[in-house]
Amino acid sequence: MTAQIDTSPCPTPAWLPGGHVQTLYGALAASYHHISFVRDRVNTPDGDFLDMDWTGPGLFSDKLANGATSEPDGSLGQTAARRWMREDDWATLPSAPNSPAVVLFHGLEGSSRSHYAQAISQYFRARGWIVVIAHFRSCSGFPNRMARAYFSGDSEDIGFMLDTVRRRLPNARWHAIGVSLGGNAMLKHIGEQAEAVSWLAACAAVSVPMDLVACGTRLSETWLGKHLYSRNFLKTMKTKIMEKAKRFPGNIDALRLSHAKSLRDFDNLYTAPMHGYKNALDYWTRASSKPYLKSIAVPALVLNARNDPFIPGPSLPGSHDCSSKVVLHQPAEGGHVAFVTGSFPGNIGWLPTRLARFFETGV
Protein backbone atom coordinates (compact mmCIF):
# COMPACT_ATOMS: atom_id res chain seq x y z
CA MET A 1 0.00 0.00 0.00
CA THR A 2 1.08 3.58 -0.63
CA ALA A 3 0.51 6.94 1.00
CA GLN A 4 -2.69 8.91 0.72
CA ILE A 5 -2.48 12.20 -1.22
CA ASP A 6 -4.44 15.26 -0.07
CA THR A 7 -4.37 18.30 -2.37
CA SER A 8 -7.11 20.28 -0.63
CA PRO A 9 -6.17 23.97 -0.44
CA CYS A 10 -4.93 26.11 2.37
CA PRO A 11 -7.24 29.09 1.73
CA THR A 12 -4.47 31.67 1.30
CA PRO A 13 -5.91 35.18 0.76
CA ALA A 14 -5.70 36.90 -2.62
CA TRP A 15 -3.91 39.86 -1.04
CA LEU A 16 -0.95 37.59 -0.23
CA PRO A 17 0.27 36.19 -3.57
CA GLY A 18 3.16 33.78 -4.02
CA GLY A 19 5.34 31.59 -1.85
CA HIS A 20 7.98 34.22 -1.01
CA VAL A 21 5.43 36.80 0.15
CA GLN A 22 3.47 34.19 2.12
CA THR A 23 6.63 32.91 3.81
CA LEU A 24 7.92 36.35 4.81
CA TYR A 25 4.53 37.66 5.91
CA GLY A 26 3.81 34.54 7.97
CA ALA A 27 7.11 34.86 9.81
CA LEU A 28 7.18 38.62 10.26
CA ALA A 29 3.67 40.05 10.28
CA ALA A 30 0.82 37.54 10.69
CA SER A 31 -0.95 37.65 14.04
CA TYR A 32 -0.97 34.89 16.65
CA HIS A 33 -1.53 34.49 20.37
CA HIS A 34 1.63 34.66 22.47
CA ILE A 35 2.33 32.09 25.16
CA SER A 36 5.04 31.66 27.80
CA PHE A 37 6.51 28.43 29.13
CA VAL A 38 8.13 26.70 32.07
CA ARG A 39 11.61 25.40 31.23
CA ASP A 40 13.13 22.03 32.07
CA ARG A 41 16.84 21.38 31.46
CA VAL A 42 17.90 17.80 30.76
CA ASN A 43 21.50 16.57 30.71
CA THR A 44 22.41 14.41 27.71
CA PRO A 45 24.46 11.18 27.89
CA ASP A 46 27.42 12.89 26.20
CA GLY A 47 27.71 15.65 28.81
CA ASP A 48 25.68 18.36 27.08
CA PHE A 49 22.18 19.61 27.88
CA LEU A 50 18.85 20.18 26.13
CA ASP A 51 16.18 22.68 27.18
CA MET A 52 12.50 21.85 26.93
CA ASP A 53 9.73 24.41 27.34
CA TRP A 54 6.49 23.08 28.81
CA THR A 55 2.92 24.28 29.10
CA GLY A 56 -0.32 22.49 29.86
CA PRO A 57 -3.43 22.40 32.01
CA GLY A 58 -2.47 23.14 35.63
CA LEU A 59 1.05 24.36 34.80
CA PHE A 60 1.42 28.14 34.80
CA SER A 61 4.46 30.19 33.91
CA ASP A 62 3.50 32.98 36.32
CA LYS A 63 2.41 30.78 39.23
CA LEU A 64 4.11 28.06 41.26
CA ALA A 65 2.53 24.70 42.08
CA ASN A 66 1.54 25.99 45.54
CA GLY A 67 -0.35 28.89 43.99
CA ALA A 68 2.22 31.57 44.85
CA THR A 69 2.95 34.18 42.20
CA SER A 70 6.22 33.66 40.37
CA GLU A 71 8.29 36.58 39.11
CA PRO A 72 10.08 36.18 35.76
CA ASP A 73 13.50 34.55 36.10
CA GLY A 74 16.11 36.97 34.80
CA SER A 75 18.41 34.13 33.69
CA LEU A 76 15.92 33.26 30.96
CA GLY A 77 16.43 36.63 29.29
CA GLN A 78 14.66 36.99 25.96
CA THR A 79 13.43 33.38 25.76
CA ALA A 80 9.75 32.42 25.75
CA ALA A 81 10.21 30.66 29.11
CA ARG A 82 9.32 32.67 32.20
CA ARG A 83 10.66 30.40 34.93
CA TRP A 84 12.41 27.07 35.52
CA MET A 85 10.53 23.85 36.23
CA ARG A 86 10.45 22.73 39.89
CA GLU A 87 9.96 19.17 41.06
CA ASP A 88 6.46 19.84 42.38
CA ASP A 89 5.38 21.28 39.01
CA TRP A 90 5.21 17.84 37.41
CA ALA A 91 2.32 16.85 39.66
CA THR A 92 0.24 19.77 38.36
CA LEU A 93 0.11 18.37 34.82
CA PRO A 94 -2.64 15.91 33.87
CA SER A 95 -1.74 12.37 34.90
CA ALA A 96 -4.82 10.47 33.73
CA PRO A 97 -4.11 7.72 31.19
CA ASN A 98 -4.16 8.95 27.58
CA SER A 99 -4.02 12.64 28.44
CA PRO A 100 -3.22 14.26 25.07
CA ALA A 101 0.33 15.59 24.74
CA VAL A 102 2.50 16.85 21.89
CA VAL A 103 6.23 17.50 21.54
CA LEU A 104 7.38 19.96 18.86
CA PHE A 105 10.78 19.95 17.15
CA HIS A 106 11.53 23.40 15.72
CA GLY A 107 13.20 24.40 12.47
CA LEU A 108 16.61 25.86 11.61
CA GLU A 109 17.50 28.52 14.21
CA GLY A 110 13.99 28.25 15.66
CA SER A 111 12.86 28.07 19.29
CA SER A 112 9.76 28.32 21.44
CA ARG A 113 9.67 31.99 20.40
CA SER A 114 9.12 31.10 16.74
CA HIS A 115 5.78 32.16 15.29
CA TYR A 116 4.73 28.59 14.45
CA ALA A 117 5.75 27.25 17.88
CA GLN A 118 3.76 29.97 19.59
CA ALA A 119 0.65 29.45 17.45
CA ILE A 120 0.70 25.65 17.73
CA SER A 121 1.38 25.71 21.49
CA GLN A 122 -1.39 28.18 22.22
CA TYR A 123 -3.91 26.24 20.11
CA PHE A 124 -3.27 22.86 21.72
CA ARG A 125 -2.84 24.26 25.26
CA ALA A 126 -6.23 26.00 25.00
CA ARG A 127 -7.78 22.62 24.16
CA GLY A 128 -6.37 20.84 27.18
CA TRP A 129 -3.21 19.36 25.68
CA ILE A 130 0.20 19.19 27.30
CA VAL A 131 2.72 20.86 24.99
CA VAL A 132 6.53 20.78 25.06
CA ILE A 133 8.91 22.56 22.70
CA ALA A 134 12.13 20.53 22.49
CA HIS A 135 15.08 22.78 21.69
CA PHE A 136 18.01 21.52 19.70
CA ARG A 137 21.49 22.23 21.07
CA SER A 138 22.30 25.97 21.16
CA CYS A 139 18.77 27.05 20.16
CA SER A 140 17.26 27.71 23.60
CA GLY A 141 19.02 31.02 24.22
CA PHE A 142 22.02 29.37 25.90
CA PRO A 143 25.23 28.14 24.22
CA ASN A 144 25.60 24.40 24.61
CA ARG A 145 28.64 22.86 26.30
CA MET A 146 30.24 21.17 23.30
CA ALA A 147 31.90 22.08 20.00
CA ARG A 148 29.11 20.26 18.16
CA ALA A 149 25.67 21.79 17.69
CA TYR A 150 22.62 20.39 15.91
CA PHE A 151 21.98 19.18 12.38
CA SER A 152 19.17 18.03 10.13
CA GLY A 153 19.74 14.29 10.54
CA ASP A 154 20.25 14.13 14.30
CA SER A 155 18.23 10.97 14.95
CA GLU A 156 20.03 10.35 18.23
CA ASP A 157 18.95 13.63 19.81
CA ILE A 158 15.39 13.20 18.50
CA GLY A 159 15.30 9.77 20.14
CA PHE A 160 16.66 11.14 23.39
CA MET A 161 14.09 13.95 23.46
CA LEU A 162 11.22 11.58 22.70
CA ASP A 163 12.37 9.21 25.43
CA THR A 164 12.69 12.15 27.83
CA VAL A 165 9.13 13.43 27.41
CA ARG A 166 7.78 9.90 27.60
CA ARG A 167 9.73 9.31 30.81
CA ARG A 168 8.44 12.58 32.28
CA LEU A 169 4.78 11.74 31.55
CA PRO A 170 4.51 8.02 30.82
CA ASN A 171 0.70 7.93 30.93
CA ALA A 172 0.18 10.63 28.32
CA ARG A 173 -0.90 9.89 24.75
CA TRP A 174 2.09 11.37 22.95
CA HIS A 175 2.14 12.98 19.50
CA ALA A 176 5.09 14.65 17.72
CA ILE A 177 5.33 17.61 15.38
CA GLY A 178 8.47 18.44 13.40
CA VAL A 179 8.88 21.71 11.55
CA SER A 180 11.31 22.17 8.63
CA LEU A 181 14.78 20.96 9.79
CA GLY A 182 13.25 19.46 12.95
CA GLY A 183 10.69 17.65 10.84
CA ASN A 184 13.38 16.07 8.67
CA ALA A 185 15.25 14.80 11.73
CA MET A 186 11.99 13.55 13.25
CA LEU A 187 10.85 11.70 10.11
CA LYS A 188 14.30 10.16 9.68
CA HIS A 189 14.28 8.89 13.27
CA ILE A 190 10.71 7.58 13.07
CA GLY A 191 11.50 5.81 9.78
CA GLU A 192 14.69 4.30 11.20
CA GLN A 193 12.93 3.07 14.33
CA ALA A 194 9.78 1.80 12.60
CA GLU A 195 7.75 -0.26 15.14
CA ALA A 196 10.03 0.77 18.02
CA VAL A 197 8.26 4.15 18.20
CA SER A 198 4.75 2.70 17.98
CA TRP A 199 4.04 4.24 21.40
CA LEU A 200 3.60 7.52 19.52
CA ALA A 201 -0.06 8.04 18.67
CA ALA A 202 0.82 10.04 15.54
CA CYS A 203 3.27 12.54 14.11
CA ALA A 204 3.09 15.50 11.76
CA ALA A 205 5.82 17.09 9.66
CA VAL A 206 5.43 20.67 8.41
CA SER A 207 7.32 22.25 5.48
CA VAL A 208 10.04 19.61 5.70
CA PRO A 209 13.01 19.49 3.31
CA MET A 210 13.05 15.71 2.92
CA ASP A 211 15.52 15.88 0.02
CA LEU A 212 18.30 18.00 1.53
CA VAL A 213 20.38 17.97 -1.65
CA ALA A 214 17.61 19.62 -3.66
CA CYS A 215 16.70 22.05 -0.88
CA GLY A 216 20.26 22.91 0.11
CA THR A 217 21.09 23.58 -3.53
CA ARG A 218 18.09 25.88 -3.94
CA LEU A 219 18.96 27.87 -0.79
CA SER A 220 22.64 28.05 -1.75
CA GLU A 221 22.40 28.83 -5.46
CA THR A 222 19.24 30.82 -6.21
CA TRP A 223 19.45 34.57 -5.70
CA LEU A 224 16.75 34.85 -3.03
CA GLY A 225 17.83 31.60 -1.42
CA LYS A 226 21.38 32.81 -0.99
CA HIS A 227 20.93 36.55 -0.43
CA LEU A 228 17.70 36.61 1.59
CA TYR A 229 16.94 33.34 3.34
CA SER A 230 20.45 31.91 3.82
CA ARG A 231 21.84 35.29 4.84
CA ASN A 232 19.20 35.51 7.57
CA PHE A 233 19.99 32.02 8.87
CA LEU A 234 23.76 32.51 8.64
CA LYS A 235 23.64 35.70 10.69
CA THR A 236 22.79 33.82 13.90
CA MET A 237 24.46 30.53 12.97
CA LYS A 238 27.84 32.14 12.36
CA THR A 239 27.58 34.16 15.58
CA LYS A 240 27.02 30.97 17.59
CA ILE A 241 29.81 29.04 15.91
CA MET A 242 32.31 31.90 16.19
CA GLU A 243 31.61 31.89 19.94
CA LYS A 244 32.28 28.14 19.94
CA ALA A 245 35.55 28.70 18.07
CA LYS A 246 36.79 30.80 20.99
CA ARG A 247 35.86 28.11 23.50
CA PHE A 248 37.21 25.23 21.40
CA PRO A 249 40.31 26.54 19.63
CA GLY A 250 41.60 24.29 16.89
CA ASN A 251 38.28 22.51 16.35
CA ILE A 252 36.67 25.12 14.08
CA ASP A 253 38.18 27.06 11.16
CA ALA A 254 36.87 30.43 12.31
CA LEU A 255 38.55 32.45 9.57
CA ARG A 256 37.10 30.48 6.68
CA LEU A 257 33.74 30.18 8.44
CA SER A 258 33.52 33.96 8.82
CA HIS A 259 33.58 34.19 5.02
CA ALA A 260 30.83 31.60 4.43
CA LYS A 261 28.27 33.04 2.02
CA SER A 262 25.83 30.15 1.69
CA LEU A 263 24.42 27.20 3.58
CA ARG A 264 26.61 24.94 1.44
CA ASP A 265 29.69 26.88 2.61
CA PHE A 266 28.60 26.66 6.24
CA ASP A 267 27.80 22.95 6.05
CA ASN A 268 31.08 22.21 4.25
CA LEU A 269 33.12 24.08 6.86
CA TYR A 270 31.27 23.23 10.08
CA THR A 271 28.14 21.08 10.08
CA ALA A 272 29.48 18.19 8.01
CA PRO A 273 32.95 17.72 9.55
CA MET A 274 31.73 18.40 13.10
CA HIS A 275 28.99 15.76 12.87
CA GLY A 276 30.77 12.96 11.03
CA TYR A 277 30.19 13.72 7.35
CA LYS A 278 32.76 14.25 4.60
CA ASN A 279 31.26 17.44 3.19
CA ALA A 280 27.94 19.20 2.62
CA LEU A 281 26.89 16.86 -0.18
CA ASP A 282 27.60 13.78 1.94
CA TYR A 283 25.69 15.35 4.84
CA TRP A 284 22.71 16.38 2.74
CA THR A 285 22.56 12.97 1.07
CA ARG A 286 22.82 10.81 4.19
CA ALA A 287 20.73 13.02 6.50
CA SER A 288 17.70 13.29 4.18
CA SER A 289 14.52 11.69 5.52
CA LYS A 290 12.96 10.87 2.13
CA PRO A 291 14.51 7.37 1.91
CA TYR A 292 13.04 6.49 5.32
CA LEU A 293 9.41 7.39 4.56
CA LYS A 294 8.60 3.85 3.41
CA SER A 295 9.51 2.52 6.87
CA ILE A 296 7.27 4.83 8.92
CA ALA A 297 4.98 2.71 11.09
CA VAL A 298 2.99 5.37 12.99
CA PRO A 299 0.30 7.61 11.47
CA ALA A 300 2.13 10.55 9.87
CA LEU A 301 0.93 13.74 8.23
CA VAL A 302 3.50 15.29 5.89
CA LEU A 303 2.36 18.82 5.00
CA ASN A 304 4.19 20.76 2.27
CA ALA A 305 2.91 23.70 0.27
CA ARG A 306 3.89 23.24 -3.36
CA ASN A 307 4.95 26.90 -3.60
CA ASP A 308 7.41 26.62 -0.67
CA PRO A 309 10.42 28.75 -1.74
CA PHE A 310 12.82 26.50 0.19
CA ILE A 311 11.67 23.20 -1.31
CA PRO A 312 11.55 22.43 -5.06
CA GLY A 313 8.23 20.81 -5.95
CA PRO A 314 9.82 17.89 -7.85
CA SER A 315 11.76 16.92 -4.70
CA LEU A 316 8.57 16.29 -2.70
CA PRO A 317 7.68 12.64 -2.08
CA GLY A 318 4.94 10.91 -3.99
CA SER A 319 2.61 8.21 -2.72
CA HIS A 320 4.98 5.39 -3.78
CA ASP A 321 7.83 6.92 -1.73
CA CYS A 322 5.94 6.38 1.55
CA SER A 323 4.32 3.73 3.69
CA SER A 324 0.55 3.44 3.94
CA LYS A 325 0.75 5.18 7.34
CA VAL A 326 1.61 8.48 5.65
CA VAL A 327 -0.80 11.18 4.47
CA LEU A 328 0.87 13.61 2.05
CA HIS A 329 -0.96 16.93 2.17
CA GLN A 330 0.39 19.17 -0.60
CA PRO A 331 -1.73 22.29 -1.03
CA ALA A 332 -0.79 24.60 -3.91
CA GLU A 333 -0.32 27.64 -1.64
CA GLY A 334 1.06 28.28 1.83
CA GLY A 335 4.75 29.13 1.59
CA HIS A 336 7.32 27.83 4.09
CA VAL A 337 5.80 27.30 7.57
CA ALA A 338 3.36 30.14 6.89
CA PHE A 339 -0.11 29.00 5.78
CA VAL A 340 -1.60 32.47 6.36
CA THR A 341 -5.39 32.71 6.02
CA GLY A 342 -8.14 35.21 6.69
CA SER A 343 -8.88 38.81 5.80
CA PHE A 344 -6.18 41.41 6.31
CA PRO A 345 -4.03 41.35 8.45
CA GLY A 346 -4.40 37.55 8.36
CA ASN A 347 -3.46 34.90 10.90
CA ILE A 348 -1.64 31.55 11.08
CA GLY A 349 -4.47 29.62 12.73
CA TRP A 350 -5.01 27.22 9.82
CA LEU A 351 -1.84 25.22 10.57
CA PRO A 352 -2.60 24.12 14.16
CA THR A 353 -6.19 23.38 13.12
CA ARG A 354 -4.92 21.11 10.33
CA LEU A 355 -2.54 19.31 12.70
CA ALA A 356 -5.27 18.80 15.28
CA ARG A 357 -7.61 17.40 12.65
CA PHE A 358 -5.05 14.78 11.68
CA PHE A 359 -4.32 13.84 15.28
CA GLU A 360 -8.02 13.46 16.02
CA THR A 361 -9.26 11.81 12.80
CA GLY A 362 -6.19 10.45 10.98
CA VAL A 363 -6.98 12.39 7.78
Given 252, 287, 322, the domain boundary residue is 287
pLDDT for the residue numbered 1: 67
Are 281 and 300 found together in one domain?
no
Residue 73: per-residue pLDDT: 96
Regarding whether 218 and 358 lie in a shared domain, the answer is no
Has residue 24 been placed in a domain? no
Is there a single domain that holds both residue 296 and residue 279? no
pLDDT of the chain, 363 residues: tens digit per residue: 689 999 999 999 999 999 999 999 999 999 999 999 999 999 999 999 999 999 999 999 999 999 999 999 999 999 999 999 999 999 999 999 999 999 999 999 999 999 999 999 999 999 999 999 999 999 999 999 999 999 999 999 999 999 999 999 999 999 999 999 999 999 999 999 999 999 999 999 999 999 999 999 999 999 999 999 999 999 999 999 999 999 999 889 889 999 999 999 999 999 999 999 999 999 999 999 999 999 999 999 999 999 999 999 999 999 999 999 999 999 999 999 999 999 999 999 999 999 999 999 999
Kindly state whether residue 70 falls inside one of the protein's structural domains: no
Q: Would residue 203 count as lying in a domain?
A: yes
Q: Are residues 117 and 230 in the same domain?
A: no
Based on the fold, state whether residues 230 and 348 are members of the same structural domain. no
- Domain membership flag for residue 93: no
Spell out a b/e string for 308-346, using b for 16 or more CB atoms within 10 Å of the CB, else e.
bbbbbeebbbeeebbbebbbbbbbebbbbbbbbbbeeeb
Question: Based on the domain organization, do 228 and 336 belong to the same domain?
Answer: no
The number of domains in the chain is: 2
**Residue 251 shares a structural domain with residue 198:** no
- Give domain status of residue 188, yes or no: yes
For residue 2, the model assigns a pLDDT of 85
Same domain for 262 and 322, yes or no, is no
Contact (CB, 8 A) for 329 and 354: yes
Q: Is residue 198 part of a domain?
A: yes
Please report whether residue 310 resides in a domain.
yes
Whole-number pLDDT of residue 212: 98
For residue 250, what are the domain limits? Answer: 212-287
Does residue 275 share a domain with residue 223?
yes
- Answer with the one of 287, 303, 324 that is the final residue of a domain: 287
Closest to 296 in 3D by CA, of 255, 328, 264: 328
pTM, two decimals, is: 0.97
Output the domain CATH number for residue 294. 3.40.50.1820
Domain boundary (240, 270, 287) is at: 287
